[in-house]
Amino acid sequence: MSNIILFLPIILILSGVLAIIIPKRIRKIYLLIIVVTIPLLLIKSNNILDRVVYDWFGDGSYNLVLEINYTKLLFFILLLVSIIIYSFANLSSNETEEPMLLISGGGMALAIFAGDFITFFIGWEIMSWSSYIPLINRNKDVKAARRYLVYGLFGAAMILTGILLAGLESSFEFTEFVVSKSSYFAIPFLITGFLLKSGIMPLHHWIPSVYNEASDTLSSFFSGALSKAGIYGFMLLFILYPHNLLGINTYISWLGAFTALFATFRAIMQVEIKKLLAWSSIAQLGYIVASLGLGTAEGVGAGLYHTVLHTTIKLLLFIVIAGVINRTGKTRFDELGGLIKQMPFSFIAVLIGIIALAGMPPLGGFASKWAIYSALLSSGKVFELIVIIAASTAAFLYNFKLIYGIFLGHPTQCIPENTKEIKWGYILGSIIPLIILIFTGLFPSYVYKFINPVLNESGFNQLLQNNYKILSSSMGEYNGFVVMTTFGITFAVILLLFSLIKSKSRNAHRLDIAYAGEIPNESYPLHFGYGLGREIRRIPFIGFWLSKSTGKFYAYIHSLMVQISSVVRVIFTGDITTFLYILIIGLAVFWVFVSGGSV
Amino acid sequence: MIDTVQLFLNVILAPIVAFIIAGFYYGFYRRFTARIHRRWGPPIYQNFVDNIKLYSKEEAVSHGLMFHLGPVIMAAGSVTSLLFIPFFNNSVWFSGLSSYGNLILITYLMVVGPLGNALAIGVSGNPFGLMGVVRGLTRLIGLEIGMYISIALLMIVSGTTSLTELISIQVNSGTWNMVSHPLIFIISLFSFVGFMGASPFDVVGAPTEVYSGPVAEYGSKYLGILMSQRLMFSFAKLLLWVNLFMGGAANIVELLLKTFSLFLFEIVIGSVYPRFKVEQAVDFLWKIPAILGLLAGVLYYLNIGGV
Residue-level pLDDT at A59: 75
SS3 of A125, please?
A: helix
Distance from CA of B177 to the nearest CA of A (A): 19
Of residues B101 and A383, more confidently modeled? A383
C-beta separation of A49 from A69 below 8 A: yes
Angle at Cα A97 formed by Cα A95 and Cα A102, nearest 5°? 145
SS3 of A66, please?
A: strand
Distance from CA of A387 to the nearest CA of B (A): 9
Task: Find, in chain B, the residue whose alpha carbon is nearest to that of A358.
Answer: B108
Q: Is the Cβ pair A527, B125 closer than 8 Å?
A: yes
**A531 CA to centre of own chain:** 26
AA letter at B126: N
Which own/partner contact pairs does B3-8 have at CB distance under 8 Å and 24+ positions apart? B6/B92, B6/B93, B7/B97
Q: Terminus-to-terminus CA distance in chain A, angstroms?
A: 82
C-beta separation of A529 from A412 below 8 A: yes
AA letter at B234: S
Helices of type H across A502-596: 540-547, 550-568, 576-595
Judge residue A107's burial from the number of C-beta atoms within 10 Å of its C-beta, 0-12 exposed, 13-18 middle, 19 or more buried.
buried
Question: How far apart (Å, rounded) are the C-alpha atoms in residues A24 and A34?
Answer: 16
Q: Is the Cβ pair B62, A483 closer than 8 Å?
A: no
Strands B59-62 and A504-507: parallel
A530 touches chain B (CB under 8 A): no
- Cis preceding linkage at A39, omega within 30: no
C-beta separation of A454 from A461 below 8 A: no
Tell me the pLDDT tens digit for each residue of A189-207. 999 999 999 999 888 999 9
Question: How far apart (Å, rounded) are the C-alpha atoms in residues A30 and A8?
Answer: 16
Q: Is the Cβ pair B290, A386 closer than 8 Å?
A: yes
Q: Spell out the residues 6+ positions from residue B56 whose beta carbon is closer than 8 angstroms to its own.
A: A502, A503
Q: Is the pLDDT of residue B2 over 60?
A: no
Judge residue B233's burial from the number of C-beta atoms within 10 Å of its C-beta, 0-12 exposed, 13-18 middle, 19 or more buried.
buried
Please list every residue in chain B whose beta carbon sits closer than 8 Å to the beta carbon of residue A477: 100, 102, 162
C-beta separation of A128 from A152 below 8 A: yes
Buried b (16+ CB within 10 A) or exposed e, A348-359: ebbbbbbbbbbb
Q: Which of A256, A145, A273, A240 is nearest to A195 (CA)?
A: A256
Q: Spell out the residues 6+ positions from residue A396 whose beta carbon is closer than 8 angstroms to its own.
A: A358, B111, B114, B115, B137, B140
C-beta separation of B78 from B22 below 8 A: no
Residue-level pLDDT at A141: 79
Task: Tell me A572's DSSP state.
Answer: S
Please list every residue in chain B whose beta carbon sits closer than 8 Å to the beta carbon of residue A475: 155, 159-161
Q: What is the average pLDDT value for chain B, to the nearest integer?
A: 87
C-beta separation of B216 from B126 below 8 A: yes
In this structure, the number of other CB atoms found within 10 A of the CB of residue A143 comes to: 9
Q: Which of A236, A239, A357 is nearest to A306 (CA)?
A: A357
Task: Tell me A55's DSSP state.
Answer: E
C-beta separation of A212 from A139 below 8 A: no
Judge residue A161's burial from the number of C-beta atoms within 10 Å of its C-beta, 0-12 exposed, 13-18 middle, 19 or more buried.
middle
Question: How far apart (Å, rounded) are the C-alpha atoms in residues A225 and A214?
Answer: 14
Residue-level pLDDT at B261: 94
DSSP-assigned beta bridge partners for residue A272: A332
Which residues of chain A are modeled with pLDDT < 50? 1
SS3 of A4, please?
A: helix
In this structure, the number of other CB atoms found within 10 A of the CB of residue A574 comes to: 7
Residue-level pLDDT at B46: 93
Tell me the pLDDT tens digit for each residue of B157-193. 888 888 888 888 888 888 888 888 889 999 999 999 9
Q: Which of A486, A565, A214, A259 is nearest to A387 (CA)?
A: A259
Residue-level pLDDT at A579: 86
Tell me the pLDDT tens digit for each residue of A494-544. 999 998 888 888 888 888 888 878 888 888 888 888 888 888 888 888 888
Helices of type H across A60-203: 70-90, 98-113, 117-132, 142-166, 181-198
Question: How far apart (Å, rounded) are the C-alpha atoms in residues B124 and B217?
Answer: 7
AA letter at A37: T
Residue-level pLDDT at A541: 84
Q: Is the Cβ pair B101, A479 closer than 8 Å?
A: yes
Question: How far apart (Å, rounded) are the C-alpha atoms in residues A219 and A144?
Answer: 13
Dihedral angle of Cα A153, A159, A161, A164, to the nearest 10 degrees: -130
Residue-level pLDDT at A181: 85
Q: Is the Cβ pair B161, A361 closer than 8 Å?
A: no
Distance from CA of B161 to the nearest CA of A (A): 6
Residue-level pLDDT at A138: 80
AA letter at B217: E
Task: Tell me A447's DSSP state.
Answer: T
Question: How far apart (Å, rounded) are the C-alpha atoms in residues A252 and A195?
Answer: 9
Question: How far apart (Å, rounded) are the C-alpha atoms in residues B239 and A130?
Answer: 57
Task: Find, in chain B, the residue whose alpha carbon is nearest to that of A385.
Answer: B152
A41 touches chain B (CB under 8 A): no
DSSP-assigned beta bridge partners for residue A332: A272
Q: Spell out the residues 6+ positions from residue A303 whose beta carbon is closer than 8 angstroms to its own.
A: A231, A288, A289, A291, A292, A372
Please list every residue in chain A whose beta carbon sits closer than 8 Å to the beta carbon of residue B60: 503-506
Q: Which of B228, B155, B238 is nearest to B189 (CA)?
A: B238
Buried b (16+ CB within 10 A) or exposed e, A34-70: bbeebeeebeeeeeeeeeeeeeeeeeeeebbbbbbbb
Task: Find, in chain B, the residue whose alpha carbon is nearest to that of A403.
Answer: B119
Q: Provide DSSP, A235-259.
A: HHHHHHS-GGG-TTHHHHHHHHHHH
Q: How many residues does chain B have?
A: 307
Instruction: Specify the DSSP element, H or E, that contains A505.
Output: strand A504-507
Q: Is the Cβ pair B140, A396 closer than 8 Å?
A: yes
**Selected residue of B58, B107, B121, B134 to mutate for chain A interface (largest A Cβ count, 10 A):** B134
Question: How far apart (Å, rounded) are the C-alpha atoms in residues B80 and B82?
Answer: 5
Q: Which of A416, A411, A403, A410 is nearest to A342 (CA)?
A: A416
Secondary structure (H, E, C), A449-493: HHHHHHHHHCCCCCCCCCCCCEEEECCEEEEHHHHHHHHHHHHHH
CB pairs under 8 A between A and B: 216
Of A338, A487, A538, the CB nearest to B279: A538
Q: Is the pLDDT of residue B23 over 50?
A: yes
Q: How many residues does chain A have?
A: 599
C-beta separation of A19 from A99 below 8 A: yes
Q: Provide DSSP, A357-411.
A: HTT-TTSHHHHHHHHHHHHHHHTT-HHHHHHHHHHHHHHHHHHHHHHHHHHSS--
Residue-level pLDDT at B214: 80
Residue-level pLDDT at A1: 47
Q: Is the pLDDT of residue B305 over 70?
A: no
Q: Is the Cβ pair A410, B128 closer than 8 Å?
A: no
Please list every residue in chain A whose beta carbon sits closer than 8 Å to the beta carbon of residue B133: 400
SS3 of B257, please?
A: helix
